[in-house]
Structure 1
């Protein structure tokens, strides 16, 4: 008479431990790449308020399907865009006896360009087929224009650039008392040149 040997059972408890250790290993060793993009705040929720914007205080930039950049209805090269944005923001077009006159502006003070940096608005529109790299490059030029003006005024008023103060403010080595002072200085410069960028909905060409 033959005896049938019972199959041996496999201890699954140790396998669960091994799987857990492998999971921890991959979590620790795997590198997660960050997406490349712009550090920007989301636009506020839409409201029913109607803002009256004078035409002279609006600088329009449009990128078409062929990645051509148009500023104020004229085609411009990317490398020339920043200087045009600076000239517009820093124009200071109000007369000295008018309310809102900009005494720190160094622009041409044209009566067809922005009245004051606090009223200057940059409008950016892109077509559906605009390439992402050119769109980001245009945004970088706009931000670069604001940074240029903020650095200039920060050097004039506080003797150091806006970017240097910004980096020092967010440094972990900076004392809290120093950060409070830096925060006031940064807000002061931001009020002189507030960043006003209107990104309109995608347009069809």
Structure 2
């Protein structure tokens, strides 16, 4: 009796189907990217350079403890008041002579910062500080710089600093991008973002 041949499954199109599925998943899948804090690290230095000497009045100390309590200049403060306090410090303009600030609109308190170019915000936190609180504090401090930059950009160029940065990134921008870059640098020079982060406390 002749043996019957077992029927074969036609797998010729399996490679095509697998390839089509692969393309489908590549096209439809969204890849999540972690958002972080935009910070520019200082360039590496070949030789040790001593840190610049800072007057204590030009340093604005912001601390976060392990209970997420905010201390500004050793005084308890609510997060909602931090931006205004930072603006008041940065825009004080209490310097005289070379340190004088002719564009500052602050109270010119001699016991506070001399000039925005000299002012440094020092952020210190505890290792047990909540990450969300830490980011919220960072946002408020950066927002203080942005507020002041917007004000100066509006005064000098008739548009906000945020608008200028958007125009620089816009591929359809018809103006002179080199001139726009220079204008942005001028505003950044008037209010440089000097945000110092100390080693977290244990």
TM over 0.5: yes
State the Cα distance separating 1:131 from its structure 2 match: 1.2
Corresponding residue SS for 1:99: helix
Q: Give the corresponding residue for 1:90.
A: 91
Q: Whole-Å Cα distance in 2 between the matches of residues 31 and 134 of structure 1?
A: 28
- Which 10-residue stretch deviates more, 56-65 or 13-22? 13-22
Q: Give the corresponding residue for 2:100.
A: 101
State the Cα distance separating 1:91 from its structure 2 match: 1.4
RMSD between aligned residues: 1.9
Q: Give the corresponding residue for 1:121.
A: 120
Q: TM-score, normalised by structure 2?
A: 0.89
Deviations 1:70-117 (A, max 9, x none): 11111110011011111111111212xx11311111112222221111
Equivalent residue runs for 1:147-166 within 5 Å:
147-166=146-165
Structure 1: 5+ residue runs without aligned partners? none
**Cα distance, 1:42–1:188 mapped onto 2, change above 3 Å:** closer
Q: Give the corresponding residue for 2:133.
A: 134
Q: Give the corresponding residue for 2:197.
A: 199
State the Cα distance separating 1:165 from its structure 2 match: 1.6
State the Cα distance separating 1:11 from its structure 2 match: 4.9
Corresponding residue SS for 1:81: helix
**Cα distance, 1:13–1:118 mapped onto 2, change above 3 Å:** farther
State the Cα distance separating 1:10 from its structure 2 match: 4.7
State the Cα distance separating 1:203 from its structure 2 match: 1.3
Q: Whole-Å Cα distance in 2 between the matches of residues 78 and 35 of structure 1?
A: 25
Q: Whole-Å Cα distance in 2 between the matches of residues 192 and 180 of structure 1?
A: 19
Structure 2 counterpart of 1:41, from 39, 51, 56 = 39
State the Cα distance separating 1:3 from its structure 2 match: 3.4
Structure 1 counterpart of 2:185, from 162, 184, 187 = 187
Q: Give the corresponding residue for 1:73.
A: 74
**Cα distance, 1:104–1:55 mapped onto 2, change above 3 Å:** same
**Cα distance, 1:49–1:9 mapped onto 2, change above 3 Å:** farther
State the Cα distance separating 1:144 from its structure 2 match: 0.7
What count of residue pairs does the alignment treat as equivalent? 199
**Cα distance, 1:110–1:201 mapped onto 2, change above 3 Å:** same
Deviations 1:90-149 (A, max 9, x none): 111212xx1131111111222222111111111112211111111111111111100111
Q: Give the corresponding residue for 2:63.
A: 62
State the Cα distance separating 1:8 from its structure 2 match: 4.9
Deviations 1:30-84 (A, max 9, x none): 222343433x134225643221222121111111111111111111100110111
